[in-house]
Chain A
Amino acid sequence: EVQLLESGGGLVQPGGSLRLSCAASGFTFTTSAVTWVRQAPGKGLEWVSSFRGSGGAASYADSVKGRFTISRDNSKNTVYLQTHSLTAEDTAVYYCAKYLYAHSYYGIDVWGQGTTVTVSS
Chain B
Amino acid sequence: DNVMTQSPLSLSVTPGEPASISCRSSQSLLHSNGYSYVDWYLQKPGQSPQLLIYLGSNRASGVPDRISGSGSGTDFTLKISRVEAEDVGVYYCMETLQSPYTFGQGTKLEIK
Contact = CB atoms under 8 A, between A and B. Distances in A.
Contacts of B61: 109
**On chain A, which size bracket covers the interface?**
20 to 34
B54 A107 contact: yes
A62 B96 contact: no
Contacts of A27: none
A100 B39 CA distance: 12
Interface in A39-53: 44-47, 50
A46 B41 CA distance: 13
A120 interface: no
B85 interface: no
Contacts of A112: 48
Interface in A58-88: 59-62
Given A62-B1, A108-B39, A45 B103 contact: yes
Interface in B19-53: 37, 39, 41, 43, 48-51
Nearest to A107: B54
A45 B96 contact: no
Contacts of A111: 48-50
A108 B39 CA distance: 8
**On chain B, which size bracket covers the interface?**
20 to 34
A29 interface: no
Nearest to A108: B51
A59 B37 CA distance: 17
Residue of A44, A59, A106, A108 with highest tally of chain B CB at under 10 A: A106
Given A100-B54, A106-B55, A107-B55, A45 B41 contact: yes
B96 A106 contact: yes
A2 B24 CA distance: 33
Nearest to B104: A44
Given A45-B106, A59-B99, A111-B48, 4 more contacts: A37-B49, A44-B92, A106-B54, A114-B48
12 contacts: A37-B49, A44-B105, A44-B106, A45-B49, A45-B94, A50-B99, A50-B101, A95-B48, A106-B96, A108-B39, A108-B41, A109-B61
